[in-house]
Amino acid sequence: MSTAAARYGDPTAALDVTGEVLRLQLAHRSVRSFGPREVTDGELAALITAAQSAPTSSNLQPWSVVAVRDPTRKARLAALAAGQEFVARAPLFLVWLADLGRARRLAERGGTEVAAADYLETTLIAFIDTALAAQNTVTAAASLGLGTVFVGAIRIHPEEVAAELGLPPHTVAAFGLAVGEPDPLERADVKPRLPREAVLHRERYDGPAADAHIPGYDKVLAAYNARFGLSGGWSDRVLARLKGPESMAGRHRLREALARLGFPSR
Amino acid sequence: MSTAAARYGDPTAALDVTGEVLRLQLAHRSVRSFGPREVTDGELAALITAAQSAPTSSNLQPWSVVAVRDPTRKARLAALAAGQEFVARAPLFLVWLADLGRARRLAERGGTEVAAADYLETTLIAFIDTALAAQNTVTAAASLGLGTVFVGAIRIHPEEVAAELGLPPHTVAAFGLAVGEPDPLERADVKPRLPREAVLHRERYDGPAADAHIPGYDKVLAAYNARFGLSGGWSDRVLARLKGPESMAGRHRLREALARLGFPSR
């Protein structure tokens, strides 16, 4: 199958334009099982330079990243992230930080104020810019033959993660990213996404037209899941994941934790 | 200068590893002036397929995108986004939506609840996943010779933008992205970023070591700004941008607007 066909689980899907970058992006899959080779310091430098090359609102650069290689620290972070053992087994675990602390320290040294940092808008800028940067790292890693997977579970225990990494006030782990050489034996594949016309609207949002594609996608995803011995389609998984606070593994407390860590998000 | 040297405004900066993807990423610059050629439907399809190939938390896919080409609509959106005229002049303006509405509608049709969608954690998932997707589009666009620039100012008037695009409840414009052929006459260049060691920490966060790189960066950015007839370094601009609600162009009201649009973010 072409990369577009695999991306949509639709043998007829194809694109008019292509290239090395698109092929690499379309072939993305999550990697949770890693080979033995280390990620070199030169590779790490390139991954971070790629991240810094992403756009950032008003050039604020409101993020930082902690590169964790120490096995005992990775194991502790894995335990804090719902016990996902691949975090400990990845040669490199990057903890991406929404970082308004740098600006707050600048203000403190200058005897001035940055009261805009108190607002939800600024919290969102920090998380958005961190995500833009990290996605550049995902693509750069793929171009170097490295696999990655994001770890949102690092937000289950934000205060404990902050203590583990020695974070100053006004910084918080936005997500983790495990990085390493993909284990060729891992049973994982390109996961089909919603048909393009379920997410792409022209001029104005058309909910009924978009949602009409969901039943077909449920069948595509059920077939994909069945290949890995899993049952169910997309809709039932979305509904289970978003059922209520009890389906959030503790992450329903994030607002409170953010406030304590210096993101009042008013 | 190499792309790493330009990225850091440091003639000695270089990377051990490289490749087509890294070169493209490191050469990123914002494009706000566009040539006459249209973005084709085939290119738009590729840009969105790239976006859909980005990672998404639990495969929730909590975003949508509205492709706007109609000149009068682009002009109205430009007016809502602080009157930035390049929005109207871009051949294609993509409005990226944090979209929890799709899941809410699924729940409604299924007679069930998705109370997790009420939490700030889920709002953040939606914004993060939208950003991961959009950054793939930025890179894919560059690979097709198209320039882009994000428009955060679309968050100044979220309700008016929602009305313009016919958004259903629980969807909100996260940011815009202007897309088009770069005008070769535009005076714009690769903007130097903070030195890598100002944002990259090893094992634990070291604020003093990181912040020690800021004074040097202020000089680099002052020299860059001077080339465009602008004055000032980085620190003073960050402090001005984050001074307080009065420096946010109305975006301090975002929390309230999000709540009205169906993102209680509790």
In the prediction, which pLDDT does A188 show?
A: 81
Q: Where are the alpha helices (DSSP H) in chain B?
A: 3-8, 20-26, 41-52, 71-80, 86-89, 101-110, 120-143, 158-165, 196-199, 207-211, 214-227, 235-241, 254-260
A positions 30-69 inside 8 Å of B (CB) = 30, 40, 42-46, 48-50, 52-55, 57-61, 63-69
Structure tokens at B47: 């840009």
Give tens-digit pLDDT for B148-180. 999 999 999 999 999 999 999 999 999 999 999
Phi, psi (5° rounding) for residue B51?
-60, -45
A positions 62-91 inside 8 Å of B (CB) = 63-70, 73
Query: Would an 8 Å CB–CB cutoff place A117 in contact with chain B?
Result: yes
Average pLDDT, chain B: 97
Structure tokens at B198: 């100002």
Give tens-digit pLDDT for B186-216. 988 999 999 999 999 999 999 999 999 999 9
> B186 to chain A nearest CA, in Å?
18
Give tens-digit pLDDT for A236-245. 999 999 999 9
Look at strands B200-202 and A63-68 and give their pairing. parallel
CB-side exposure of B261: number of CA atoms within 13 Å? 28
> A219 to chain B nearest CA, in Å?
15
- Out of A107, A211, A252, name the one closest to residue B102 (CB): A211
> B191 to chain A nearest CA, in Å?
9
Query: Would an 8 Å CB–CB cutoff place B120 in contact with chain A?
Result: yes
Measured CA to CA, the distance from residue A162 to residue A257 in angstroms comes to 11
In the prediction, which pLDDT does A243 show?
A: 97
> Which contiguous run of DSSP H or E holds residue B179?
strand B171-180
Contact B15 A46 (CB under 8 A): yes
Average pLDDT over residues A7-34: 97
Whole-number Cα distances in Å, B251 to A127, A266, B152, B261: 16, 11, 10, 15
ipTM above 0.85, yes or no: yes
Contact B64 A121 (CB under 8 A): no
B positions 231-260 inside 8 Å of A (CB) = 234-235, 237-239, 241-245, 247-248, 251-252, 254-255, 258
Chain A: residue whose CA lies nearest to B149: A55
Q: What angle do CA B136, A140, B128 make, to 5 degrees?
A: 40
pLDDT exceeds cutoff 90 at A201: yes
Contact A45 B16 (CB under 8 A): yes
Give tens-digit pLDDT for B13-44. 999 999 999 999 999 999 999 999 999 999 99
Query: Would an 8 Å CB–CB cutoff place B211 in contact with chain A?
Result: yes
Contact A15 B191 (CB under 8 A): no
Of the pLDDT bands very low, low, confident and very high (cuts 50, 70, 90), residue A1 is low
Average pLDDT over residues B91-118: 98
Contact A67 B203 (CB under 8 A): yes
pTM of the full predicted structure?
Answer: 0.99
Angle between helices A120-143 and B120-143 (to 10 degrees): 50
- Out of B66, B138, B196, name the one closest to residue A205 (CB): B66
**How many cross-chain Cβ pairs, A to B, lie less than 8 Å apart?**
394
User: A36-70 burial string, b = 16+ CB within 10 Å, else e?
Assistant: eeebeeebbbbbbbbbbbbbbbebbbbbbbbbbee
Query: Would an 8 Å CB–CB cutoff place B165 in contact with chain A?
Result: yes
Average pLDDT over residues B220-233: 95
CB-side exposure of A79: number of CA atoms within 13 Å? 7
Contact A103 B175 (CB under 8 A): no
For residue B44, the chain A residues in CB contact (below 8 A) are 200
Nearest to A31 by CA among A152, A142, A136: A142
CATH architecture, range B31-182+252-260: 3-Layer(aba) Sandwich (3.40)
Give tens-digit pLDDT for A87-139. 999 999 999 999 999 999 999 999 999 999 999 999 999 999 999 999 999 99
Give tens-digit pLDDT for A146-169. 999 999 999 999 999 999 999 999
Measured CA to CA, the distance from residue B235 to residue B232 in angstroms comes to 8
- Out of B20, B115, B175, name the one closest to residue A244 (CB): B115
Structure tokens at A10: 């639709």
Question: Rounded to an integer, what is the distance from CA B166 to the centroid of its chain?
Answer: 22
Contact B65 A138 (CB under 8 A): no
Measured CA to CA, the distance from residue B6 to residue B1 in angstroms comes to 6
For residue A8, the chain B residues in CB contact (below 8 A) are 49
Chain A: residue whose CA lies nearest to B199: A64
Domains of chain B: which residue ranges?
1-29, 31-182+252-260
Question: Rounded to an integer, what is the distance from CA A205 to the centroid of its chain?
Answer: 26
pLDDT exceeds cutoff 90 at B1: no
For residue B256, the chain A residues in CB contact (below 8 A) are none
Mutation site, A32, A49, A129, interface B, largest B CB count within 10 A: A49
Query: Would an 8 Å CB–CB cutoff place B11 in contact with chain A?
Result: no
Burial of B10 from C-beta contacts in 10 A (0-12 / 13-18 / 19+)? middle
Query: Would an 8 Å CB–CB cutoff place B227 in contact with chain A?
Result: no
> Which contiguous run of DSSP H or E holds residue A92?
strand A92-99
Average pLDDT over residues B119-132: 98
Average pLDDT over residues B48-59: 98
Average pLDDT over residues A196-200: 98
In the prediction, which pLDDT does B214 show?
A: 98
Angle between helices A41-52 and A120-143 (to 10 degrees): 130
Quote the percentage of chain A above a pLDDT of 90: 98
CB B152 within 8 A of CB B30: no
Give tens-digit pLDDT for A37-71. 999 999 999 999 999 999 999 999 999 999 999 99
pLDDT exceeds cutoff 90 at A197: yes
